[in-house]
Amino acid sequence: MPAPELEQLWQDPRHWTAGIIYHCTADPRVIVPKQRRWGGWTLNCAHRSAGLVLLGAMAIAVAPTLIVVAAGYANTLTVLAAVALSIVVLCFGAAWESERRR
């Protein structure tokens, strides 16, 4: 789908609930920018993979910290590093997915 069509779908207020929940079956993207683009990204709740992406994001957010704690390296620095790594991976993944063209 061409970028202008995606932009038109994204800008349509009928596809937004309370300005934070996006649901558009015609939009092929799973992750889209929020209405205020500086605010990050959100899921396209109408996409069939949205639930799996949400579970995957939760796993990416929690898994590194759990691994550090389970391995016995649970000091402040390693836990903070694991959390920072999770945040970086999630941000880059969301940015990449929201900008992909299909």
- 3-state secondary structure labels for all residues of 37-57: HHHCEEEECCCCCHHHHHHHH
Q: Residues near 3 by Cβ (< 8 Å), separated by ≥ 6?
A: 101
Q: What's the pTM value of the predicted model, to 2 decimals?
A: 0.69
What's the rounded Cα separation, in Å, for the pair 28 and 100? 10
Q: So where are the chain's domains?
A: 3-99
Q: How confident is the model at residue 102 (pLDDT cuts 50, 70, 90)?
A: low
Region 51-55: mean pLDDT is 91
Which of helix, strand or coil describes residue 16? strand
Q: Are 97 and 31 in contact (CB under 8 A)?
A: yes
Check pLDDT > 90 for residue 68. no
Check pLDDT > 60 for residue 63. yes
What is the reported pLDDT for 18?
86
